[in-house]
């Protein structure tokens, strides 16, 4: 009897993996082996493209199995099954992407060795985009290149093929693949440091925004949507509270500046079954608004902090409360989002802490105008180290176009009031550098807001609002005026704010200078590489 062939370590581990988290870790380790042979800028697209192709293929095969069962129950003869099973409308009508035979994962896995895995994958991506207009120009075709280790690529395809994504009654295979996609996005963000912040917002921060806004139905907009995390979490929120069948109760609109990130976002929405409009292509929200006429019910965003170089037009109609300074776009983001809110719209926005108290370049006057217009509903000071991609302290702005009861007994009247929540002492460290907000933290912060606003969820849970020294305080407009329109929660909830503000200001300055120094290091490295290449040519 011939000796038994030993499986590669990753594959052997995969067969013993019993949980989605174990599968994620093994696939990440295998994918990471390809990193050295692929351009770093394309690595995310490369790996996530594979996961996306597996997803659309699995979804197609799942629909195909359902259809075969339905046809058999209807008495369709076996020799006529293929005719119906290859009917494109039976798939697209069920919101499933049409996947041509040569793009199906089973076909690729079976023919990879004889036809060349990279060639098959590029052809598969092309075929899926050709057959599905919404994916045109989205999927990566970068697998059949000389710099890609084809042997390791084939091993990764085998691993993804062998992973037991199914077999869990509580979680369909597609949901597990969605979690794998999110896991990889998070790991890429951690690996890329500051650049990772361009496409990824920590999940606990996204969850907090969604839990406070409660976007059950209506238009949801994110003008700096990255890879679409806000939309995915909104969809999960609806599914958790009202069931999977209500995910379509929201209409999703987004925009993203970076081309590669825009592609990741399109794939992320598709893999989670979200029919979103991220514009016909990527673009600058300030210079080229892809949704100029949109009025949203909910705006959720984590725009880049403290942008110094942005498309500023002093005559822009969005600057209703004051022209934002040239060297910082924070108040441009705030006013852009206000311009997108419908009559009863609400917004949750992540910004640098400096936005709460800056007085430079007219920002203090703009903040005063926003407060006097009664647009600010709640300010939340976040704990440090939630964002691996930046050390700049962050906060949440919650805006509301209408703080009235909005009907008999629906909500508490909070006109000319602002809720301040100081959550800086919350969260728990998951390792030496990263903090998350726990379920208890999320429930306390969101519950405090809902109790203050008198929402249906607060009434259902019997929550009533009371000021809590050191944590939350509801301030009237006159009190905010007395504080010079500064919006740092610690100033209102009873903390020793003067010392903390000074410490915080120093921390923010150091963090900003550190980021700027890292940028110079990166530019220096690129310049050094270029000089060495040129010197090498001279030597030749």
Tens digit of pLDDT for each residue in 359-413? 989 999 999 999 999 999 999 999 999 987 777 889 999 999 999 999 876 899 9
HSE-CB at 201 with a 13 A cutoff on CA atoms is 30
pLDDT exceeds cutoff 80 at 37: no
Position 81 scores a pLDDT of 78
Is pLDDT above 90 for 502? no
| Residue 468 DSSP class | B
Supply the pLDDT for residue 4. Answer: 44
Q: Which of 101-105, 166-170, 214-218, 306-310 has the lowest mean pLDDT?
A: 166-170
Start and end residues for every CATH 1.20.1260.30 domain found in the chain:
9-186
Asked if pLDDT for residue 323 goes beyond 90, the answer is yes
What mean pLDDT is reported for the chain? 87
Nearest to 105, CA basis, from 60, 165, 41:
60
Answer whether 232's CB lies under 8 Å from 210's CB. no
Q: Which residues pair with 291 in a beta bridge?
A: none
Q: Is the pLDDT of residue 325 over 60?
A: yes
Sequence-ordered alpha helix ranges (H) in 428-489:
439-453, 456-460, 477-482
**Would you state the structure tokens that stand for residue 144, as one six-digit string?**
């059949």
* pLDDT tens per residue, range 338-368: 999 999 999 999 999 999 999 989 999 999 9
- CATH class entry, domain 202-484: alpha beta
pTM of the model: 0.85
pLDDT of 523: 59
Residue 284 CB contacts under 8 Å (≥ 6 apart), including other chains: 257, 311
More confident residue, 178 or 204: 204
> Considering only CA atoms, which of 379, 389, 337 is closest in space to residue 355?
379
**Rounded mean pLDDT, 292-314:** 95
Average pLDDT for 437-459:
97
> How many Å apart are CA 376 and CA 367, to the nearest integer?
9
Q: Is 517 helix (H, G, I), strand (E, B) or coil?
A: helix
pLDDT, position 415: 97
The DSSP-derived string for 107-138 is HHHHHHHHH-HHHHHHHHHHHHHHH-GGGTTT
- Is-contact 386 205, C-beta < 8 A? yes
How sure is the predictor about 273, in pLDDT bands with cuts at 50, 70 and 90? confident
If you average pLDDT over residues 208-225, what whole number do you get? 97
pLDDT at 43: 83
Name the pLDDT band for 3 (thresholds 50, 70, 90).
very low
pLDDT digits (tens, 9 = 90+) for 410-430: 899 999 999 999 999 999 998
Interatomic CA distance for residues 105 and 401, integer angstroms: 48
Question: Could you tell me if 393 and 507 are in contact, meaning their C-beta atoms sit under 8 angstroms apart?
Answer: yes
Kindly report the length of the chain. Answer: 540
What gap in Å lies between CA 28 and CA 303, rounded to an integer? 28
By C-alpha distance, which of 367, 383, 364, 387 is closest to 375? 367
Integer CA distances (angstroms), 299 to 246, 447, 461, in order: 19, 20, 26
* pLDDT score of 500 more than 70: no
The residues of the chain that CATH labels 3.40.50.150 are 202-484
Q: Does domain 9-186 have CATH number 1.20.1260.30?
A: yes
Name the token pair of 199. Answer: 């496409």
Instruction: Give the residue, 174 or 181, on which the prediction is more confident.
Output: 181
CA angle 253, 259, 265 (to 5 degrees): 45
pLDDT, residue 173, reads: 67
pLDDT band at 114 (very low <50, low <70, confident <90, very high): confident
* Range among 74-88, 195-209, 329-343 with highest mean pLDDT value: 329-343
What digits encode the pLDDT tens for the residues 117-167? Answer: 999 999 999 999 999 999 999 999 999 988 888 988 888 888 888 776 654
> Residue 65 and residue 63: Cα distance in Å, rounded?
5
Percent of the chain, pLDDT > 70? 85
């Amino acid at each position: 009897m011939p000796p038994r062939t030993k499986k590669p370590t990753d594959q052997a581990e995969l067969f013993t993996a019993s949980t989605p988290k174990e599968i994620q870790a093994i696939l990440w380790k295998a994918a990471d082996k390809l990193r050295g042979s692929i351009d770093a800028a394309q690595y995310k697209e490369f790996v996530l493209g594979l996961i996306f192709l597996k997803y659309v293929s699995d979804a197609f095969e799942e629909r195909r199995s359902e259809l075969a069962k339905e046809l058999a129950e209807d008495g369709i003869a076996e020799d006529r099954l293929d005719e119906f099973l290859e009917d494109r409308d039976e798939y697209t009508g069920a919101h499933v992407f049409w996947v041509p035979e040569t793009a199906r994962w089973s076909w690729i896995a079976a023919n990879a060795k004889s036809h060349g895995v990279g060639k098959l994958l590029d052809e598969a991506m092309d075929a899926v985009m050709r057959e599905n207009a919404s994916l045109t120009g989205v999927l990566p075709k970068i697998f059949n290149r000389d710099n890609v280790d084809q042997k390791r690529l084939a091993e990764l395809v085998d691993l993804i093929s062998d992973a037991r994504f199914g077999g869990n009654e509580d979680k369909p295979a597609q949901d597990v693949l969605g979690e794998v996609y999110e896991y990889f996005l998070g790991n890429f963000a951690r690996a890329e440091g500051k650049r990772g912040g361009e496409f990824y917002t920590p999940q606990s921060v996204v969850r907090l925004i969604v839990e406070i806004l409660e976007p059950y139905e209506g238009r949801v907009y994110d003008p700096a949507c990255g890879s679409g995390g806000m939309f995915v979490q909104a969809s999960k929120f609806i599914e958790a509270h009202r069931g999977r069948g209500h995910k379509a109760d929201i209409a999703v609109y987004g925009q993203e500046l970076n081309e590669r990130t825009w592609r990741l976002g399109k794939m992320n929405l598709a893999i989670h079954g979200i029919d979103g409009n991220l514009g016909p292509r990527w673009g600058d929200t300030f210079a080229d608004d892809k949704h100029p006429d949109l009025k949203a019910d909910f705006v959720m965003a984590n725009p880049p902090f403290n942008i110094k170089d942005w498309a500023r037009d002093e005559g822009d109609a969005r600057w209703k409360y004051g022209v934002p300074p040239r060297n910082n776009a924070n108040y441009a983001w705030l006013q852009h989002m206000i311009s997108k809110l419908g009559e009863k719209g609400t917004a949750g926005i992540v910004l640098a802490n400096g936005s709460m108290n800056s007085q430079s370049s007219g920002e203090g006057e703009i903040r005063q105008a926003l407060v006097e217009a009664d647009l600010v509903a709640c300010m939340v000071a976040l704990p440090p180290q939630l964002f691996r991609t930046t050390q700049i302290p962050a906060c949440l702005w919650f805006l509301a176009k209408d703080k009235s009861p909005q009907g008999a007994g629906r909500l508490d009247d909070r006109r000319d009031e602002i809720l301040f929540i100081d959550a800086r002492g919350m969260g728990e460290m998951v390792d030496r550098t990263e903090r998350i907000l726990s379920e208890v933290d999320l429930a306390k912060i969101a519950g405090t807001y809902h109790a203050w606003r008198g929402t249906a969820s607060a009434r259902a849970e019997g929550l009533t609002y009371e000021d809590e020294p050191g944590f939350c305080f509801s301030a009237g407009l006159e009190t905010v005026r007395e504080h010079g329109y500064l919006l740092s929660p610690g100033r209102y909830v009873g903390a020793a704010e003067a010392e903390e503000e000074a410490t915080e200001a120093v921390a923010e300055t150091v963090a900003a200078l550190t980021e700027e120094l890292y940028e110079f290091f990166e530019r220096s490295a690129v310049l050094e590489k270029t000089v060495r290449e040129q010197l090498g040519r001279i030597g030749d």
